[in-house]
Structure 1
Amino acid sequence: MHTIDQIPTVQPAKRRTDRSRLLVVGATTIAAASWWAILVPVAGLTLDARQGGVLQHVGAPAIVISTALLAFAGWALLAILERNTRGARKAWTIVAVVACLMSLGSPLTGGIGIGAKLGLASFHLLVGAIVLLGLRRTALSAKDRCYEDN
């Protein structure tokens, strides 16, 4: 006979959120770099934009760095919401969708020519979709967060 103190308890398997989220950052960055390689060298599109009155050529390094920073920022926001709110997944999803849609203003107003406008907007949508769907999938439920803290 076992006493209550001796009965082993089974906890659900701990989700590997850090590894999954790092994969989302990597996949997003690779996808953006690949899309740049298709649009610019293969299709011959020129990605020029005017930012604050300055003409800028958007090259692969800018795409890769900004994509990685954005994905890490999304990860950080999700982690903060998980620690401080009950409905972290829903709140994060709403913020991410609004941020992605609002970000379209920059390429659509700053892009030089229709090709640059559409090309740059396609980066925003591609990166937004991968980050949104990828990180949302890794969001911990309130139950999972309780086990993570233990």
Structure 2
Amino acid sequence: MLAALAVWVLAVPIAGIDLAAAPIGGVVAPVGPVAVAAGPLFAGLSGWALLALLERRTARPRRTWTVVAVAVLALSLVNPLVGGMGAASVLTLVTMHLVTGAVLIALLPRR
């Protein structure tokens, strides 16, 4: 969550990028700090729950979790690539998704 917020702070208040997106089938809306914090928080809690389940049910939980997490990250990139408004907005949204995914994929399975 903090990594995504750091990207948002660098892009919006500091660089002055007008960060907006239109969810698939939705209307254009600004992307504020609450949305930026809520997304990674939900992803992190969901990933943690999945990892806990896999640790109880599978022989190779970390490998399985990593494969699923990378697939979910790839799918999550569809919305910013399709719904981002302008090149700077798309680049910022994709960066936030990649930073969040990298942190979760690298650090969540560690104890």
TM-score category (smaller protein)? over 0.9
Amino acid at match of 2:103: I
How many aligned positions are there? 110
Question: Are residues 1:104 and 2:77 paired?
Answer: yes
Tell me the CA shift for residue 102 of structure 1: 1.4
Equivalences for residues 76-91 of structure 1 within 5 A: 76-91=49-64
Partner Cα separation in structure 2 for residue 128 and residue 53 of structure 1 = 24
Question: Are residues 1:32 and 2:27 paired?
Answer: no
Partner Cα separation in structure 2 for residue 30 and residue 121 of structure 1 = 16
Partner Cα separation in structure 2 for residue 32 and residue 118 of structure 1 = 13
Contact 2:7 2:92 survives alignment (8 Å): no
> Residue 64 of structure 1: which of 37, 41, 53 is its match?
37
> Residue 67 of structure 2: which of 89, 94, 98 is its match?
94
Tell me the CA shift for residue 76 of structure 1: 0.5
Partner Cα separation in structure 2 for residue 131 and residue 53 of structure 1 = 27
> Residue 96 of structure 2: which of 123, 133, 137 is its match?
123
Q: Which residue of 2 aligns with 1:49?
A: 21
SS in structure 2 of the partner of residue 44 of structure 1: coil
Q: Return the structure number with greater relative CO, CA threshold 8 A, min gap 6.
A: 2
TM-score between the two structures when normalised by the length of structure 2: 0.94
For each residue in 1:96-146, what CA deviation from the matched residue of structure 2 results, as whole angstroms up to 9, or x when unmatched?
0111111111100100111111110001000000000001323xxxxxxxx
Unaligned runs of 5+ in 1: 1-28, 139-150
SS in structure 1 of the partner of residue 16 of structure 2: coil
TM-score between the two structures when normalised by the length of structure 1: 0.71
Aligned residues: percent identity? 42
Partner Cα separation in structure 1 for residue 52 and residue 26 of structure 2 = 36
Which ranges of 4 or more aligned residues in structure 1 deviate by more than 6 Å?
Answer: none
Unaligned runs of 5+ in 2: none
